[in-house]
Amino acid sequence: MSFAVNKNDKLQVCIEDVTHDGAGVAKVDGYPLFIPGTLPGETVHVHVQKTLKNYGFAKLIDIVEPSNARVTPPCHVFPTCGGCQMQHLSYEAQLLQKRKSVRNVIDRIAKLPHVPVHEVKGMDDPWRYRNKSQIPFDTVNDRVITGFYKTRTHQIVDTDVCLNQTTEADEVMTLLKYKLQQLGIETYDEKTHKGMLRHVIIRKARQTDQVMVVLVTRHKKFPQKQAVVDLILQQVPNVTSIMQNINTANTNVIMGNETVTLHGSDVIIDRIGDTEFEISARSFYQINPVQTEVLYKQALDYANLTGNETVIDAYCGIGTISLFLAKQAKEVYGVEIVPQAIEDAKRNAQLNGITNAHFEAGPAEEVIPKWYATGKRFDVLVVDPPRKGCDEKLLETILKYKPEKVVYVSCNPGTLARDLRVLEDGGYRTKEVQPVDMFPHSSHVECVALIELK
C-alpha cells in the first residue's frame, strides 16, 4: 500500500490547525500529519517518523516562516517536559485557539453550530497558578534528579524550576533533590521496586498561604523523617502540614491508602470567595484557585438561583460547587462516588455553618432516583464530571426526571459535546457555552454550558 507520505520523507508543509494536545496539523494531498511544536500559519520542514492508514507523525526540523503569534518560551525545559504544550504560543493566541477548539467540537460532535461559544475567560497573570504539584524522583548516574515526565513516558526531565507551580513547590523539590543523598535516603526505582522516596506533593492554599507537603514513600518505616521535616520547615516557613503517604504497591499510581501526619495539621484551609474549605492530602481541589472562582461564578450565573430552588450537584467532590450553590438555593443535594470526599464535603459544610447542603456517597445514577422516590423534586442539576464525561446511566436519569435546567461544568470539550448531543436528542436545548482557561500554556480548556428543557 502506498501513501502520499512515507516514513523518513523530508517535506516542507504548511500548518493548518492544532490538535487537542497541542500538535500542529498539516495535510499533504489530504493526508494529515501531526507535528509537535508547530503553530497554525507556519511553513516548516519536517521529517516523517511514522505513517498509519489515515494519518502520520512527523518531527519538526526547522521553521521556514514562523507564526506572528510564536513567542520564545521562558521555560528552559520546554518542550521536552510534558507539563506544557503551548508555551511557544502567545497567551492571547492560546485563548483564541482554545475557543476555536471548543467551537469545533460543539459544531462537529454536538452538531450545534447555532449555539454561542463565548470568548475564553483567561488570566491577567497566567504563571505560577498551580496550587498542587506532584513531583517524582529518580537517581541517574548517582545523581538525584527531579522534575516532570517527558511526554508519554516515565522519564523525568530534570529541572529546579517550574513557572506554573508555586515558588514553595520549587523550594521543596530542589531542597530534597540536593539533600536526599546527604541524608542517605534512596529514591524509588520503578523498574526494580526498590528505594524509599517516590514522590513529593506540595499543596498551597492561595488565600491563607498555608502549605502542605506530602512525602510519598515505599515503606512506612522512614528513618530520616525528622531530619527531612526539620529541613523543610527551615527552608519554607509557611509549611503548616507535613504528611507521609505510604504506597507499597508496584504501580505507577502516585498515592497509597495510608497517610500519617509528621508535622502540624492533617489539612490546610483555603477560601474560594467567602467559603472555606479543608484540604487533606488526598482531597480533590481545583488546581487553579484564581480561575476556580471564575468557573464557579459562571456556574452560579447560569443556575440563576432565587433562593427557592432545590439543586442537585452530581460529582460534588468535597462540596466546592455545592456550598457555593447552597448560599443562593433553598436546598442542595450533593452526590459523589468517593466516600472520603463526601466526609470532606460534610465537614466543609459544617466549617461554613451551611445547613441546607446534604451529601450522600454513591453513583449519581443510583442515588438521584432514590431521592426522587422519596418525593423530592429538583429544579436545577449541576454536573462536573471527570474527563470521560457523564456516565451514560446518569444521562438516562436526567432524561427520565427532566430537571428544568442543567448546568454542565466540563474539563473535556469533546465529552461535553457528546453529552450535549444526548441531552438535545432527549428534549433539552443548549443555550450557550462559556470556556474558562484553567490551565494556561497547556492545551486543556474547561467549559460551563447552560442547558434548559425545550
Q: Is 316 part of the annotated catalytic residue set?
A: no
Residue 155 has pLDDT above 50, yes or no: yes
User: Is residue 198 predicted with pLDDT exceeding 70?
Assistant: yes
Mean pLDDT score of the chain: 95
- pLDDT at position 1 is 41
What residue ranges do the domains of the chain occupy? 10-65, 100-123+285-453, 132-272
Q: Which CATH architecture has domain 132-272?
A: Beta Barrel (2.40)
Instruction: Estimate the crossing angle of helix 91-108 against helix 413-425, to 10 degrees.
Output: 30
Which CATH number does the domain 100-123+285-453 belong to among 3.30.1540.10, 3.40.190.10, 3.20.20.60, 3.40.50.150?
Answer: 3.40.50.150
Give the model's pLDDT for residue 232.
Answer: 98
Say whether 132-272 and 10-65 share the same fold. yes
In contact, 242 and 203? CB cutoff 8 Å: no
pLDDT number for residue 223? 87
**Nearest-angstrom CA–CA distance, 357 and 342:** 12
Sign of CA dihedral 39, 41, 45, 47: positive
Q: Distance between CA atoms of 282 and 33, rounded to whole angstroms?
A: 40
pLDDT score for 92: 97
pLDDT interval class at 2 (50, 70, 90): low
In sequence order, what E strands does 337-377 have?
357-361
Give DSSP secondary structure letters for 272-295. ETTEEEEEETT----S-HHHHHHH
From 75, 316, 390, 411, active-site residue: 411
pLDDT digits (tens, 9 = 90+) for 18-54: 987 889 999 999 999 999 999 999 999 999 999 999 9
Mean pLDDT, rounded, for 363-379: 95
pLDDT, tens digit, for every residue of 331-359? 999 999 999 999 999 999 999 999 999 99
Instruction: Please report which confidence band the pLDDT of residue 103 belongs to, taking 50, 70 and 90 as the band edges.
Output: very high
Question: How high is the pLDDT of residue 296?
Answer: 96
Please state, in angstroms and rounded to a whole number, the distance separating the CA atoms of residues 367 and 98: 35
What is the pLDDT at residue 13?
A: 97
Stretch 226-246: mean pLDDT: 97
pLDDT at 3 > cutoff 80: no
CATH superfamily of 10-65: Nucleic acid-binding proteins (2.40.50.140)
pLDDT recorded at residue 177: 96
Q: What percent of the chain has pLDDT over 90?
A: 94
